[in-house]
Structure 1
Amino acid sequence: MNAVSALSIPLKPVQAICQQHQVKMVQAGPHQICPQCAVEFAEQQRKNTQAEVDRMVREKHFAGAMLPERHAQSGFKNYLVKHAGHQNALNQIVAYAKSILNGDKNNLIMVGPTGTGKTHLSCATARTLLNKGRHARYITSEDLAQKIMDAWDRKIPDATEKSVIYDFTQYDLLILDEYGLHDRDKRRELVHKVLYARYDRMKPTMLISNMTIEELKTDLGDRLWSRLQHGYLTVVECNWNDQRVGGAA
């Protein structure tokens, strides 16, 4: 008999004393138990069950975030800082992650050449939110457009363009990487539909691109650029050499 079931049957005080709590034991069927031990045991069982549920939910959230395998362990602590530019970018992204956790709905744009650590910082942001029980999703601009197009071709069961776009408005943070590398025109229009939808639902988006800020403004257009700035827009410029090939300046 466990402590919880013992508490559900008639209890009768006995002379035996619990050595831990120095209180009288009670008779519960054929067993003598300490009421306080029973309560503590039940509470510990509840905590263990909740911890297991939290772990399973956390794992599900991480799996649903679809972080690139290369960046599955990328965090703020293992971001390599070699110069002031790195430190400034790190500070801005950490502050942004904190603002999202505090309930802010602002957007962030991160631009710079390839290999400058943008994806690392974005995945570190996602992991920070996921560890706090929030929903984050990483996807490239190309893959986002393709998911909508797959719905057109019925490659996703029961999905429509509208339902796919709606799904991408549900995340607390959407990380849209490699903006501008998608095929032009039609795919860009689909990506913009998602950005508009997230704006309408007041959901923050992190937009990452190899474009310059001026190129990005032109590509997004005045209406969408204005919406991205609504409230407050954080702009992080990673203007240094490709770190993958040894660049540090």
Structure 2
Amino acid sequence: MQTATVSDTEQRECTDHGQYQSHRFFGQHWSNCPHCSEEQDIARRLESETRQRKERQEKMLRRSGIAGRFEGARFENFRAVTAAQEEVLRAAENFVSCFECHQGGGMWLIGRPGTGKTHLGCAMVRGVIESYGMPASICSARGIVRRLRASWRKGATETEEDAIEEYSSDALLVIDEVGNGFGTEGEQLQLFDVVDLRYQYRCPTVLLSNLNVPLLRVALGERVFDRLREGVRVLTCDWASHRAGVRGDRAVPSLPPG
């Protein structure tokens, strides 16, 4: 293999860095300003790192569970008109801005349907992914159970342990629709497997539910409820449905205090 050898040198001028020694290689090929070359190398490396970081974020967003009408859900486009809505929005934003992946605890957003809980949950998931480059996801409680049970089928490509580990390793897990058609002993046990491992890892978990706190205790079961309530902040979304003005729905009566 032929190697490069320096055959000549000359003094050259760089408009940005002044004079430098240029070396001729293989005929008429001369080396460029070493400072410019270093800056170009740094720029290419930064560009590559930025591209890789964006690709990782896009991959995490694809598996995050953010889909359909909530693909564009962000804090910036959450409609906060009342003081109560503003308070919940600020709390969700602060949760992400002060996020630590092993801080434990979490947040519960409870209230009537259509108040924007899922919107805020998706915004929190997106915020953790985009701000910290950490995996985060949102899934319904029934969706978690369905996935775990799918692993029991013959020929399943994923084991139950793999699914539990993936849910448990997300920096943030938002569990949506907690209590909707959920609450059998088998479902509670399976959800406990996910929640308990996250509890051991001290990974924050966010709950979204139409139920108040006493009814959540019944739906989740004592063991799941006990794990999730440690260090949690409970916020009530007690305002009219955002969809009411569009569909002409009547306002749902206020939930009992939780």
Q: Which residue of 1 aligns with 2:192?
A: 192
Partner of 1:212: 212
Closer, same or farther: CA 32–164 of 1 in aligned 2, 3 Å: closer
Cα distance, 1:66 vs. partner?
1.9
Shift in alpha-carbon separation, 1:124–1:234, aligned structure 2, 3 A: same
**CA 1:226–1:50 in structure 2 vs 1: closer, same or farther (change >3 Å)?**
same
- Classify 1:19/1:12 alpha carbon distance in 2 versus 1 (closer, same or farther; 3 Å): farther
Give the match's secondary structure for 1:33. Answer: coil
Shift of 1:224: 2.9
Counterpart of 1:216 in 2: which secondary structure? Answer: helix
Return the offset for 1:10: 4.5
Task: State the TM-score, normalized to the length of structure 2.
Answer: 0.85
Q: Letter of the aligned partner of 1:15 in structure 2?
A: Q
User: Which stretch of structure 1 is more off in the superposition, 160-169 or 110-119?
Assistant: 160-169
TM-score by length of 1: 0.88
CA distance in 2, matches of 1:152, 1:177: 23
Equivalences, count: 240
Cα deviation, 1:123-178, whole Å, max 9, x if unaligned, reads 11111111020110111111111001101113631x22222212211100011100
* Equivalent residue, structure 2, for 1:142: 142
Cα deviation, residue 51, structure 1: 1.4
- Kindly state the Cα deviation for residue 102 of structure 1 after the two structures are TM-superposed: 7.4
Shift of 1:238: 0.5
Aligned-CA RMSD value = 2.2
- Partner secondary structure for residue 96 of structure 1: helix
Deviation, 1:188, is 3.2
Once residues 196 and 62 of structure 2 are traced to their aligned partners in structure 1, the CA distance between those partners, rounded to angstroms, is: 26
Pick from 12, 15, 19 the counterpart of residue 11 of structure 2: 15
User: 1:101 deviation in Å?
Assistant: 4.0
The 1:99–1:33 alpha-carbon spacing in structure 2 relative to 1, beyond 3 Å, is closer
Q: Secondary structure at the match of 2:177?
A: strand
Q: For 2:62 and 2:8, locate their aligned partners in 1 and report how far apart those are by CA, in whole Å.
A: 51
CA deviation digits over 1:69-100, x for unaligned, max 9? 21111111111111111011112111222232
Q: Which amino acid aligns with 1:47?
A: L
Where does residue 61 of structure 1 map in the other structure?
60
Unaligned runs of 5+ residues in structure 2 are 246-250
2:32 pairs with 1:24: no
Structure 1 unaligned residues grouped into runs of 5+: 1-7
Match for residue 48 of structure 2? Answer: 49
Show the 5 A alignment for 1:210-249. Answer: 210-230=210-230, 232-246=231-245
Out of 128-137 and 66-75, give the one that drifted further: 66-75
2: distance between equivalents of 1:147 and 1:102? 24
Q: Which residue of 2 aligns with 1:84?
A: 83
Other structure's SS at 1:179 match? coil
CA contact (8 A) 1:172 1:204 kept: yes
Question: Per the alignment, do residues 178 and 165 of structure 1 end up closer, same or farther by CA in structure 2, a change over 3 Å counting?
Answer: same
Q: Matched residues in 1 for 2:7 and 2:166: separation?
A: 54
Matched residues in 2 for 1:103 and 1:145: separation? 24
SS in 2 for 1:23: strand
Partner of 2:168, secondary structure, is coil
1:191-219 deviation line (CA, Å, top 9, x unaligned) = 23211221122111111111111211232
CA distance in 2, matches of 1:162, 1:43: 43
| Sequence identity percentage | 23
Query: In the alignment, is the contact (CA less than 8 A) between 1:11 and 1:26 conserved in 2?
Result: no
Kindly indicate whether the alpha-carbon contact (under 8 Å) linking 2:103 and 2:202 is maintained by their aligned counterparts in 1: no
